[in-house]
Structure 1
Amino acid sequence: MDGQIALLLAQDGLVNGAVYALMALALVLVFSVTRVIFIPQGEFVAFGALSMAMMQAGKTPATLWLLLALAAAVLVVEAWRYKRGAPVDWNSALLWCVAMPLAACALVLLWKPTGLAAQAVSTLVLITPLGPLLYRLAYRPMAQATVLSLLIVSVALHGVLVGLGLLFFGAEGSRTPAFSEARFDIGGLQITGQSVVVIVVTLVLVIAMFQFFGRSMVGKALRATAMNRVGARLMGVPTELSGDVSFALAALIGAVSGLLIAPLTTIYYDTGFLIGLKGFVAAIVGGLASYPLALGGALLVGQLESFSSFWASAYKEVLVFTLIIPVLWWRSLNSRHVEDEE
C-alpha cells in the first residue's frame, strides 16, 4: 500500500464514518431518553433514499400511505385513551397525526417537486413524522417495560418495516443524483463534491444537535429526561413528549443520512439494517450514553471498514462487528455490576 492508496482509503473511511456518526447520535439520543435500543433506525435511511428515488421517477412514494395509515392508527389509539380517562395531549397528537401528514400530502401530491432540493425537503417532511408515530404505537404503551422487552419490540418492528420496504420498493436498488457534481484535485487525491457535502452536512447536524441540547429549553428537557426520568417528571417535564421529540430527531437524522448516501451507493430495501448496525457499534463505543465517544467510535468504524476492505475485503464486516468484543470487555471491567451494588 502506497501513500496515495492510504489517502483514498482514509477519505472513504471519513465519509462512511460521517454517516455512521449520524446513526450513532440518533441511537444514543433515543436510548438515553426512552431506554429503547432502536434497531429500525436504519429503515429510516432506506425509506428516505428510496422515497426520494420514487419521486424522481415521477411516482408517489409508498411511504406516504404508510404515514397516513400510522397517523390514523395513532388517532384511534389516542381517542381510545381519552375515552378511558387517560390524559391526552391533543396538540402534539394533532401535530404528528394531522398537520405533518397533511403537509406531506400537499408537498408530494399537490406540489409534486421536481428540483433536487425540493424533493429532499419533501422527503424529510415525509419521513420525520414516522418516528413519533412508531413511538406512540409500539413503545409508549410499554414505557415502563424492561430494556430487554423494548429490544424485543424493536427487533419485531424491524422485521415489519423491512417487509414493508420490500412491498413498497421491490427488490431492485435505486440511486439518486449527487447534490454536487464538483470534483477537486488536492495533491493528486480526487475528492468528489458529494463527499464534501456528506462531511459538511454531518458537521452542521452535529453542531446543531450540541447547540440544541446545550441552549434550547426542549434540548435541556431531553437531557433532564435522559439523566433522571422520574426527577424530570417531578419538575414538570412532559417525559412522554420527550419520546416524541427524540424519535422525530432520529427519523430526521435517518432520512438525512439516506439522502446523503443514495448518490454514493445503490440503496436496497434492506440496506439500512447494515448501516444501522455499524452505527450501533459506534454507539456501543460511547456506551450508548456519550455523544463525543459515539462520534469517535463512528470515525473508528469508518476507517476500520475502509482499510479492512483493502487488506481483507471478504472479512471487513466481521472485523467491524468484532470491534464490539474488546469494547464490551473493557466496559465490563470498568463498570459496577448489580451484584456488586447489592
Structure 2
Amino acid sequence: MDFSIASILMLDGVTNGAIYALLALATVLVFAVTRVIFIPQGEFVAYGALTMAGFQMGKTPGTAWFLLAMAALVAVLDGVGGLRSRQPLPALLVKLLRSAAAPVLIAALAIWAGPRQLPLLGQAVITLALVTAMGPLVYRLAYEELADASVLVLLIVSVGVHFALTGFGLVFFGAEGSRNPSFWDANFNAGPLLLSGQTLIIIGASAALIVLLWLFFERSLYGKALRATAVNRLGARLMGISSGAAGRLSFTMAAFIGALSGLLISPTTTIFYDSGFVIGLKGFVAAVFAGLSSYPGAALGALLVGLLESFSSFWASAFKEVIVFTAILPVLLWRSLRDPHSEEH
C-alpha cells in the first residue's frame, strides 16, 4: 500500500464516518433522553433514500400513506384516552389537531408532489418532512406508554419496531434497490485524490449538523430541556419538563437525521429496503465506543468505524463487516471493567 492508496482509503473512511457520526449522535440522543436503544434508526435511512427514489420515478411513495395511517391510529388512541379520562371535548379536539394536523398536511403534500416531478431539491425537502414526521408517531405508538419500563423491555420493543418497519419497507418499495442522482456533479483533484461534489456535501452537511446540534443543546431552551431529561428524568418532571414531549422531540430529531443520512448516502451506493439495518448498526457501534453517553465520543467513534471499514475492505474485503462489528467486543470488555455497574442498571 502506497501513500496514494492510503489517501483514497482515508477519504472513503472519512466520508462513511461522517454518515455514521450522524447516526451515532441520533442513537446517543434517543438513548440519553428515553433510555431506548433505537435499533430501527437505520430504517429512517432506507425510508429517506427510497422515498426520494419514488419521487424520482414520478410516483407517490408508500411512506405518504403510511404516515396517514400512523396519524389516524395516533388520533384514535388519543381520542379513546381522552374520553376515558373525561377530558373536555374542546381540549381533546385541540390535542387531536396538534398531533394529526402536521402529518396529514405533509402526507397530502407528498401525494400531490408525487407525479409532478419537482426539482431535486424540492423532492429532498418533502422527503425530509415526510420521514421526519414519522419519528414522533413511532414514539407515540410504540414507546410512550412504556416510558418507565426497563431498558430490556424497551430493547425488545425496538427489535419488534425494526422488524415491522423493515416489513413495511418491503411492501412500500419492493425488493429492488435504488440509487438517487447526486446533488452536485462536480469533481475536484487534490493530489492523488478525486473529490466528488457529493463527497464534499456529505462531509460538509455532517459537520454543519453536528455544529447545529451543539448549538441546539447549548443555546436553546428545548435543547436544555432535553439535556435535563437525559441527566435526571424525575428531576426534569419535577421542574415541569414533560418526558413525553422530550421523547417525541428526540425521536423527531432522530428521524430527521436518519432521513438526511439516507439522502446523503443514496447517490453513492444502492439502497435496498433492508439496507438501513447494517448502516444503522455501524452507527450504533460508534455510539457504543462513546458509551452511549458522549456526543463528541460518538463522532470520534464513527470516524474510527469508517476508517476501519475502509482499510478492512482493502486488506480483507470479504470480512470487512466482521472486522467492524468484532471491534465492539474489546470496547465492551474495557467499559465493563472500567465502569462496574449494579444489576439494576
Does the TM-score normalized on the shorter chain lie above 0.5?
A: yes
Question: Closer, same or farther in 2 for the Cα pair 1:110/1:267, shift >3 Å?
Answer: closer
Structure-1 residue corresponding to 2:142: 138
* Structure 2 CA distance for aligned equivalents of residues 92 and 296 of structure 1: 41
**1:179 CA displacement:** 0.5
Q: Secondary structure at the match of 1:236?
A: coil
* Structure 2 CA distance for aligned equivalents of residues 86 and 9 of structure 1: 62
TM-score by length of 1: 0.96
**1:81 CA displacement:** 1.1
Contact 2:28 2:292 in 1 (8 A): yes
Matching residue within 139, 161, 164 for 2:165: 161
* Structure 1 CA distance for aligned equivalents of residues 269 and 96 of structure 2: 37
Matching residue within 189, 192, 198 for 1:194: 198
Structure 1 residues 121-156: Cα deviation after superposition (integer angstroms, max 9, x where no partner): 000111001110010000001111110000001001
* Structure 1 CA distance for aligned equivalents of residues 336 and 161 of structure 2: 29
Given residue 160 of structure 2, which amino acid in structure 1 is its aligned partner? A
Question: Closer, same or farther in 2 for the Cα pair 1:95/1:198, shift >3 Å?
Answer: farther
User: How many residue pairs end up in the alignment?
Assistant: 341
* Structure 2 CA distance for aligned equivalents of residues 130 and 6 of structure 1: 40
Question: Closer, same or farther in 2 for the Cα pair 1:86/1:218, shift >3 Å?
Answer: farther
Structure-1 residue corresponding to 2:17: 17
* Structure 2 CA distance for aligned equivalents of residues 97 and 308 of structure 1: 46
* Structure 2 CA distance for aligned equivalents of residues 219 and 258 of structure 1: 24
Aligned: 1:255 with 2:259: yes
* Structure 2 CA distance for aligned equivalents of residues 173 and 33 of structure 1: 34
Aligned: 1:35 with 2:39: no
Structure-2 residue corresponding to 1:311: 315
Give the unaligned 5+ runs of structure 1.
none
Contact 2:229 2:243 in 1 (8 A): yes
* Structure 1 CA distance for aligned equivalents of residues 86 and 144 of structure 2: 13
Contact 1:44 1:272 in 2 (8 A): yes
Backbone CA RMSD of aligned residues: 1.7
* Structure 2 CA distance for aligned equivalents of residues 243 and 316 of structure 1: 35
TM-score by length of 2: 0.95
Q: Secondary structure at the match of 1:338?
A: coil
Question: Closer, same or farther in 2 for the Cα pair 1:60/1:131, shift >3 Å?
Answer: same
Aligned: 1:116 with 2:120: yes
Structure-1 residue corresponding to 2:106: 103
Q: Secondary structure at the match of 1:190?
A: strand
* Structure 1 CA distance for aligned equivalents of residues 46 and 285 of structure 2: 19
* Structure 1 CA distance for aligned equivalents of residues 255 and 242 of structure 2: 20
Mapping for residues 1-342 of structure 1, pairs under 5 Å: 1-85=1-85, 94-109=97-112, 112=116, 114-338=118-342
Q: Secondary structure at the match of 1:60?
A: coil
Given residue 8 of structure 2, which amino acid in structure 1 is its aligned partner? L
Contact 1:47 1:165 in 2 (8 A): yes
Given residue 106 of structure 2, which amino acid in structure 1 is its aligned partner? A
Identity %: 58
Given residue 282 of structure 1, which amino acid in structure 2 is its aligned partner? A
**1:59 CA displacement:** 0.3
* Structure 2 CA distance for aligned equivalents of residues 323 and 95 of structure 1: 44
Contact 1:62 1:168 in 2 (8 A): yes
Contact 1:39 1:158 in 2 (8 A): yes
User: Which 10-residue stretch deviates more, 202-211 or 100-109?
Assistant: 100-109
Given residue 17 of structure 1, which amino acid in structure 2 is its aligned partner? G
Contact 2:71 2:103 in 1 (8 A): no
Q: Secondary structure at the match of 1:243?
A: helix
* Structure 1 CA distance for aligned equivalents of residues 237 and 294 of structure 2: 23
**1:323 CA displacement:** 1.1
Structure 1 runs, 4 residues or longer, greater than 2 Å off: 86-96, 110-113
Contact 2:68 2:103 in 1 (8 A): no
